[in-house]
Amino acid sequence: MINYNTIKIAQGFYSIEQDFVRSFLIEGDREALLIDTGVGDGNLKEYIEQITKLPVTVIFTHADGDHVGGAGQFERRFMHPGEFDYYKNKHENRVTVSMEPIWEGDIINLGSYCFEIILLPGHTPGSIALLEREKHFLIGGDSIQTGKIYMFGNGRNFEAFRASMKKLQGMLREFDTVYASHDALLVPADTVNQLYAGAGKVMENKVTGKPGELSFDSNIKCYETDGIAFYAY
Nearer to Zn ion, 140 or 200 (CB): 140
Q: Binding marks (x or -) toward Zn ion, 102..131, rule CB under 5 A?
A: ------------------------------
Number of residues that bind Zn ion (CB under 5 A): 2
Query: Exposed e or buried b for every residue in 152-176, given b needs 16+ CB within 10 A?
Result: eeebbbbebbbebbeebeeeeebbe
Span from 68-76, 104-112, 137-145, 171-179 in contact with Zn ion (CB under 5 A)? 137-145
Q: For residues 117 and 108, is the Cβ–Cβ distance under 8 A?
A: yes
Q: Binding marks (x or -) toward Zn ion, 24..43, rule CB under 5 A?
A: --------------------
Choosing from 36, 66, 83, 132, the residue that interacts with Zn ion (CB under 5 A) is 66
Q: What is the largest distance, in Å, between two alpha-carbon atoms of the chain?
A: 51
The two beta strands, 4-10 and 13-18, are antiparallel
What is the identity of the amino acid at 155?
G
Kindly identify the residues of this chain, within the stretch 138-177, that bind Zn ion according to CB under 5 A: 142
**Which residues make up the interface to Zn ion (CB under 5 A)?**
66, 142
